[in-house]
């Protein structure tokens, strides 16, 4: 073990070491002087006088009438880094002998006293306590300590009643603005009528404070109060001494708080709670105050009183909120501008509606909370679908299309946008297929097949159902049937697209519907949709059709499927041979039809889709002229179609 003096060298400190650890306290005159006034508050002072010079090189003087410090207290408290006030003094303020009061201290870790370093690396402390007057010169100009006591003198204070502290520093940096400091500090300490702050001989009466938003007189049976609603102009770090301050005959009752009786007016974490203060002045509540002035008695009169004050505060919050709602909405919309641009019309409408509702009905909510809720609405908007309404439209005949405008007269905007959103998406899909399918270099796995598989309505309205889905049983059967070990890397996303298999010249997807078997009470497959998509430019012949027939036959006989599903198989290519029958039913050994194979082309799918969409593609041609070609498609397919 090392002996007491066995080390070679202790720590060395740059002269600005302490400054670099203090943050805003060392660089902001507002913060520094506010903390120094808080120190006077913690010393039980009732008055603080600050002299601020007009030029660098002159002195700032801060004088208070608090309890002061003895030489021993100065050494043990002021000169100790990280002094723990709560541990050594508790959180209650000690007052000079001739004063009474009940305060909670601001200080916690002894940092506030270093506020003088904001203006110079050296300062003077003159303090008087218990008839002892002490003078200290503190400086950071030392390599061996963060700060040191440069000079010290002690003398008789001239009487036991003498107490208080005077701080003096020559301003070399961060010269304060007296008017700004007066406004900031008076707002921070205005809750207590027995504590006043003067800057260059000036103080701000509560009724003349620049942050005063409202002054109202409220009356109830036998009680008249004057309520002053004040904006402290800058949110405090915490809600200590923020809230409702009750004054009875010019004296503070208890501590300011946003809790009235048993109810909380505001969430103490909100920006409102940290920024605004309400002062309630009266001379009529003396019979309802506890003997130690720490609060009010619990009775029916106070319950009624609290209700009236609560109603006033809520009314004022609503008034203030109306003035800030537009600013909040603008900030939110700016934050999510890029995401909202990528949304379809209906989703954009709903997001805007959500922003309006959240900011109007929850004005005190944190910006972060509103932002999170809006982000959630946007994510939901990206997954919304108008299939149900579009299905109703698809049942109209050609003559009914002309009546669409008349129907819209009876719909809400949201209904119309739901349909237009789905139509827009579907027309975009059709147009993209028409432009991309003839290119032999197109990546059908990552572009065409996801579009077509997710758009089963191209093969018939009966397939446009959320019941068609990927099924583990079907996946296993299909993989066994093709007898290939597919590379997971070949899939767009093996979790999102497990139903696409890659073959040498095509891709195949298999989806199905299932139901509960009445006999076994277990789920079994009853319909299968099998889509084989050939590469761009491919001409389908008899071999390809027969191959699809064998797929159907093999699936029915593979033993991996429970039940007797009917299989709808489609082979899609650029074209097919002239002597090829494009439709062929498939029967089992008992001559029972188990499926059907349809040979079709991309152009036939496009034509069919055009009819199902009432020819809207031609009617809205200009809107879809810019559907991206192959070179741009991969970049914008996510944002435009949200299908892959």
Do residues 464 and 584 share a domain?
yes
- How far apart CA 137 and CA 158 sit, in angstroms, is 21
Q: Could you tell me the CATH number of the domain that includes residue 304?
A: 3.30.230.10
Which structural domain, as residue segments, surrounds residue 50?
17-188
> What is the pLDDT at residue 5?
59
146 and 58, same structural domain?
A: yes
Task: Quickly count: other Cβ atoms within 10 Å of residue 635's Cβ.
Answer: 10
Q: Could you tell me what percentage of the chain is helix, strand and coil, using 3-state DSSP and rounding each to the nearest 5?
A: 40, 25, 35
SS (H, E, C) 546-573: HHHHHHHHHHHHCCCCCCCCEEEEEEEE
Beta-carbon count within 10 A of 624 CB: 16
Q: What is the pLDDT of residues 50-74, one digit of tens each?
A: 999 999 999 999 999 999 999 999 9
Residue 388 has pLDDT above 60, yes or no: no
Same-domain status, 134 and 157: yes
Residues 143 and 213 in one domain: no
Tell me if 6 is assigned to some domain: no
- Based on the domain organization, do 54 and 80 belong to the same domain? yes
- 499, HSE (Cβ side, Cα atoms, 13 Å): 22
Q: What is the pLDDT of residue 2?
A: 47
How confident is residue 384, by pLDDT bands cut at 50, 70 and 90?
low
What domain count does the chain have? 5
pLDDT at residue 224 greater than cutoff 90: yes
Over pLDDT 90: what percentage of the chain?
25
Q: Is residue 325 part of a domain?
A: no
Per the CB < 8 A criterion, the answer to whether 178 and 199 are in contact is yes
Whether residues 27 and 170 fall in one domain: yes
Judge whether 196 lies within some domain.
Answer: no
Q: Which two tokens stand for residue 270?
A: 């909100």
Give the best-scoring range by mean pLDDT among 202-206, 419-423, 434-438.
202-206
Q: List the strands of the sheet with 148-156, edge to edge.
A: 148-156, 132-139, 122-129, 164-170, 59-64, 47-51, 196-199
Q: 258 and 228 share a domain?
A: yes
Average confidence score pLDDT of the chain: 79
In a domain, 299, yes or no: yes
- DSSP calls for 333-352: HHHTHHHHHTS-HHHHHHHH
- Which pLDDT band, with edges at 50, 70 and 90, does 356 fall under? confident
What's the start-to-end Cα distance of the chain, in Å?
Answer: 69
Q: Which of 218-227, 266-275, 445-454 has the highest mean pLDDT?
A: 218-227
Q: Which residues contact 194 (CB under 8 A, 6 or more apart)?
A: 46, 101, 250, 251, 252
Residue 1 domain flag:
no
Average pLDDT score over residue span 178-182: 88
Rounded CA separation 265/272 (Å): 11
Residue 2 within a domain: no
| 32 shares its domain with 91 | yes
- For 202-216, 362-376, 440-454, 539-553, which range has the lowest pLDDT when averaged over its residues? 440-454
| 610 within 8 A of 423, measured Cβ to Cβ | no
Hey, how many other C-beta atoms are within 10 angstroms of the C-beta on 615? Answer: 12
* pLDDT classification of 306: cutoffs 50, 70, 90: very high
CATH number at residue 118: 3.30.565.10
Residues 108 and 162 in one domain: yes
Give yes or no: residues 500 and 629 share one domain: yes
What are 561's two structure tokens? 């499927």
**Cα 501 to Cα 172: distance, rounded to the nearest angstrom:** 76
pLDDT at 454: 66
- 639 half-sphere exposure, CB direction, 13 A CA radius: 12
Among 151-155, 232-236, 339-343, whose mean pLDDT is lowest? 232-236
SS3 534: strand
User: Residue 635 has what pLDDT?
Assistant: 40
Task: Note whether residue 34 is domain-resident.
Answer: yes
Q: Which of 188, 221, 241 is the last residue of a domain?
A: 188
Same domain flag for 444 and 540: yes
Provide the pLDDT confidence category of residue 339 given band limits of 50, 70 and 90. confident
pLDDT at position 411 over 50: yes
In a domain, 359, yes or no: yes
Tokens of 347: 């989703």
Poorest-pLDDT segment among 251-255, 376-380, 534-538, 635-639: 635-639
476-496 pLDDT, tens per residue?
777 777 665 444 444 333 444
- Whether the per-residue pLDDT at 498 is higher than 50: the answer is no
**CB-based contact 632:433 (threshold 8 Å):** no
Q: Taking residues 425-449, what's their average pLDDT?
A: 70
Per-residue pLDDT, 273 = 79
Highest mean pLDDT among 213-227, 352-366, 434-448, 547-561: 213-227
Q: What is the tens place of the pLDDT at every residue in 575-595? A: 899 888 899 999 988 899 999
Q: What is the pLDDT of residue 272?
A: 75
Nearest-angstrom CA–CA distance, 519 and 521 = 6
- To the nearest whole percent, how much of the chain has pLDDT over 70? 76
CB–CB of 77/88 below 8 Å?
yes
Same domain, 265 and 356: no
Do 280 and 377 contact (CB within 8 A), yes or no?
Answer: no
């Amino acid at each position: 073990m090392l002996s007491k003096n066995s080390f070679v060298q202790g720590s060395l400190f740059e002269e600005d070491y302490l400054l670099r650890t203090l943050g805003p306290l060392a660089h902001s005159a507002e913060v520094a002087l506010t903390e120094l006034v808080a120190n006077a508050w913690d010393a039980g002072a009732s008055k603080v006088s600050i002299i601020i010079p007009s030029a660098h090189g002159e002195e700032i003087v801060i004088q208070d009438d608090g309890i002061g410090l003895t030489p021993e207290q100065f050494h043990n408290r002021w000169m100790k880094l990280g002094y723990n006030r709560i541990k050594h003094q508790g959180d209650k303020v000690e007052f000079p002998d001739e004063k009474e009061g009940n305060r909670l201290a601001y200080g916690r870790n002894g940092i506030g006293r270093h506020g003088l370093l904001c203006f110079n690396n050296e300062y003077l402390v003159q303090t008087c306590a218990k008839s002892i007057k002490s003078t200290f010169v503190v400086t950071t100009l030392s390599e061996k300590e963060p700060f040191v006591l440069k000079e010290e003198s002690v003398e008789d204070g001239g009487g036991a009643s003498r107490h208080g502290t005077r701080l003096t520093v020559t301003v070399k940096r961060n010269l304060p603005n007296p008017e700004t400091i007066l406004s900031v500090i008076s707002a921070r300490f205005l809750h207590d009528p027995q504590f006043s702050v003067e800057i260059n001989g000036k103080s701000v009466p509560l009724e003349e404070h620049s942050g005063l938003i409202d002054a109202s007189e409220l009356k109830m049976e036998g009680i008249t109060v004057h309520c002053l609603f004040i904006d402290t102009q800058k949110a405090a770090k915490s809600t200590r001494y923020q809230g409702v301050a009750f004054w009875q005959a010019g004296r503070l009752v208890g501590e300011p708080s946003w809790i009235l009786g048993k109810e909380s007016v505001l969430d103490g974490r909100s920006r409102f709670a940290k920024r605004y203060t309400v002062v309630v002045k009266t001379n009529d509540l003396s019979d309802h105050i506890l003997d130690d002035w720490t609060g009010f008695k619990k009775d029916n009169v106070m319950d009624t009183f609290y209700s009236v004050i609560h109603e006033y505060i809520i009314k004022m919050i609503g008034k203030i909120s109306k003035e800030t709602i537009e600013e909040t909405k603008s900030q939110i919309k700016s934050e999510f501008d890029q995401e909202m641009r990528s949304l379809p019309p209906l989703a954009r409408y709903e997001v805007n509606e959500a922003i309006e509702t959240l900011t109007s009905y929850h004005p005190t909510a944190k910006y972060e909370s509103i932002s999170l809720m809006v982000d959630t609405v946007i994510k939901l908007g990206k997954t919304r679908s108008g299939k149900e309404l579009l299905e109703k439209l698809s049942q109209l005949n050609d003559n009914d299309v002309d009546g669409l405008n008349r129907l819209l007269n009876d719909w809400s905007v949201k209904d119309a946008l739901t349909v237009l959103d789905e139509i827009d998406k579907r027309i975009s899909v059709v147009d993209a297929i028409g432009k991309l399918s003839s290119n032999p270099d197109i990546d059908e796995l990552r572009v065409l097949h996801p579009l077509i598989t997710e758009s089963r309505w191209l093969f018939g309205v009966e397939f446009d159902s959320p019941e068609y889905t990927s099924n583990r049983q079907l996946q296993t059967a299909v993989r066994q049937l093709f007898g290939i070990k597919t590379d997971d890397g070949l899939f767009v996303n093996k979790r999102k697209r497990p139903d696409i298999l890659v073959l040498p010249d095509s891709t195949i997807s298999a989806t199905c519907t299932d139901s509960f078997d009445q006999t076994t009470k277990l789920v079994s497959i009853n319909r299968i949709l099998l889509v084989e998509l050939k590469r761009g430019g491919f001409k389908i012949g008899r071999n390809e059709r027969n191959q699809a027939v064998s797929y159907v036959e093999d699936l029915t006989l593979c033993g991996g499927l429970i039940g007797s599903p009917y299989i709808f198989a489609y082979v899609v290519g650029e074209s097919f041979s002239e002597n090829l029958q494009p439709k062929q039913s498939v029967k089992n050994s008992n001559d029972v039809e188990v499926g059907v194979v349809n040979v079709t082309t991309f152009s036939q799918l496009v034509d069919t889709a055009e009819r199902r969409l009432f020819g809207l593609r031609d009617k809205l041609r200009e809107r879809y002229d810019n559907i991206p070609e192959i070179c741009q498609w991969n970049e914008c397919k996510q944002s435009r179609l949200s299908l892959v």
